[in-house]
């Protein structure tokens, strides 16, 4: 029996046409050349067989030593705190591009990750040629959906072909045993000694001969009718169904009409960028305290918030509703998350939120545009200090904070295994409040804290040093893949 192998791929003509339509890929190595929004001045490379390279290195070192270049930008990036969204907003376009291209900080308020609303709007109006990341993702998903439909159609055709071959083989074997009669009616003996049975042979004039495989029909260009299409006609603003901008643009005879003047004026006028960059509390504090390149202002008064006030303000707004200064604890959500964020950023990782994969953070080697995240991080507070077990109330509270079930852990680990990521459990050792108060010098600040005592900016580092981090990599054990 001859079986025809049908490859489950799209046509080569369709793929080549798609490749011709796509715009050239941006040079991400040049766009994201700097890992942080800081200017670096490396020394020239050393060439062992060239003695002049040593002289060049010495000259560059002496020049930078006498006239030290500035690593920070001339003007700090400006942002304002939004208590409604519990995030920090950056509205300046130059600052948005700098923070995204140099470290992948924040996300666009109208985009999935990279702020690309303005490019999408220009492309929609026909003012820009290219493809944004959202459009590339949408196109890739549509291609995958069409590929699955084509594969299902091919599989169904092969199954129907095999069933037809089996039926033809069974009919031909029965025909060799049954004598042919001129009338087409076969008189048999009494069945069970009671009555006669008649049988009319099946018309097999259209059947294929035994061992012959009929040629499968080719798939139409617009898809097969065996699989229901998910595409629905889009409705225009006037209530009629059409194809987007082409609706109402052609006469009944097919003659094209000129574009309305309103559309031309709409594309020619200046487009205001309605998108801003949203920074999480951890990202904003790392840029303001860790790197010193960001100034966060209070939105109503436009006053610059100091680092000490920013530290306490973010701790308060890590709760919902915002907590008062008297109720803040060493295991505040902002404290534990920022310590982990600062830790991995200091090691050179690009840290992004991991809500999509049910984790706290995702760790990228260089950034989302270069490769997928390699690790998924879950933050777990640890209360191993004797202070947290001194009383029954503290034991109950600490047990409540760190309680996680095995079902939850297996569920998260299975998700990471499906997306080819390694799960990392990060335990943050929570120090007792007494050690924090003894190691930090407090000052009284009425700004944004209702005359509460805040740690000075020079002592925030002493505060953070009291915390310890333990990393545990968890791998899902599968018997079929782990036989050794």
Q: Which positions are catalytic?
A: 364, 372, 421
Query: In the numeric block, which tokens belong to residue 44?
Result: 């020239």
Judge contact between 350 and 364, C-beta under 8 A.
yes
Residue 363 and residue 344 in contact, taking contact as beta carbons nearer than 8 Å: yes
Q: Can you say whether the dihedral through the CA atoms of 463, 80, 313, 318 is positive or negative? A: negative
The Cα angle at residue 27 between residues 78 and 278, in degrees rounded to 5: 25
Residue 468: strand pairing partners = 429
Alpha helices in 206-306 (DSSP H): 261-268, 281-285
- Is the backbone of residue 244 left (phi > 0), alpha (psi -120 to 50) or beta? left
* 87 C-beta neighbours (distance < 10 Å), count: 20
The residue among 135, 69, 86, 162 whose CA lies nearest residue 316 is: 86
Q: Quickly tell me which residue has 């992948």 as its tokens.
A: 104
DSSP state of 354: -
Quote the CA–CA distance of 348 and 464 in Å, as a whole number: 19
Instruction: Report in angstroms the alpha-carbon separations of 482 from 255, 414, 417, 478.
Output: 67, 16, 14, 6
CA nearest neighbour of 67 among 59, 77, 75: 59
Residue where the block lists tokens 């893949």: 481
């Amino acid at each position: 029996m001859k079986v025809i192998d049908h490859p489950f791929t799209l046509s080569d003509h369709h793929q080549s046409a798609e490749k011709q339509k796509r715009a050239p890929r941006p040079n991400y190595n040049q766009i994201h050349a700097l890992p942080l929004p800081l200017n670096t001045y490396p020394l020239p490379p050393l060439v062992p067989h060239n003695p002049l390279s040593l002289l060049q290195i010495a000259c560059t070192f002496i020049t930078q030593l006498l006239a030290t270049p500035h690593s920070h930008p001339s003007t700090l990036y400006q942002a304002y705190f939004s208590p409604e969204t519990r995030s920090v907003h950056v509205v300046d376009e130059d600052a948005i591009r700098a923070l995204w291209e140099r470290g992948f900080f924040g996300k666009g308020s109208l985009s999935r990750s990279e702020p690309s609303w303005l490019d999408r709007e220009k492309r929609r109006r026909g003012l820009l040629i290219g493809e944004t990341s959202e459009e590339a993702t949408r196109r890739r998903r549509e291609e995958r959906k069409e590929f699955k439909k084509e594969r299902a159609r091919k599989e169904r055709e092969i199954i129907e072909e095999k069933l037809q071959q089996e039926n033809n083989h069974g009919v031909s074997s029965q025909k060799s045993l049954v004598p042919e009669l001129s009338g087409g009616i076969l008189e048999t003996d009494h069945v069970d000694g009671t009555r006669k049975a008649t049988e009319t042979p099946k018309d097999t004039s259209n059947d294929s001969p035994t061992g012959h495989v009929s040629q499968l029909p080719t798939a139409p260009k617009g898809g097969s009718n065996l699989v229901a299409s998910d595409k629905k006609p889009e409705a225009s603003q006037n209530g009629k169904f059409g194809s987007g901008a082409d609706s109402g643009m052609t006469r009944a005879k097919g003659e094209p009409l000129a574009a309305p003047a309103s559309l031309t004026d709409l594309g020619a006028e200046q487009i205001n960028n309605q998108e801003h960059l949203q920074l999480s509390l951890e990202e904003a504090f790392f840029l303001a305290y860790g790197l010193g390149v960001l100034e966060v202002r209070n939105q109503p008064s436009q006053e610059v918030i100091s680092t000490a006030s920013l530290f306490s303000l973010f701790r308060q707004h890590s709760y919902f509703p915002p907590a008062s200064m008297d109720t803040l604890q060493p295991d505040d959500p902002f404290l534990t998350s920022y310590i982990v964020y600062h830790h991995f950023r200091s090691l050179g990782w690009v840290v992004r939120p991991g809500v999509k994969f049910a984790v706290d953070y995702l760790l990228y080697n260089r950034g989302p545009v270069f490769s997928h995240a390699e690790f998924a991080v879950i933050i777990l507070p640890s209360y191993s200090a004797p202070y947290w077990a001194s009383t029954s109330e503290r034991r109950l509270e600490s047990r409540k904070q760190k309680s996680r079930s095995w079902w939850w852990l297996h569920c998260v680990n299975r998700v990471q295994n499906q997306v080819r990521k390694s799960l990392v459990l990060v335990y943050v050792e929570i120090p007792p409040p007494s050690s924090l108060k003894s190691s930090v010098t407090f000052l009284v600040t009425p700004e944004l804290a209702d005359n509460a005592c805040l740690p000075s900016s020079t002592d925030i580092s002493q505060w953070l040093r009291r915390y310890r981090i333990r990393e545990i990599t968890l791998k899902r054990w599968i018997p079929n893949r782990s036989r050794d």
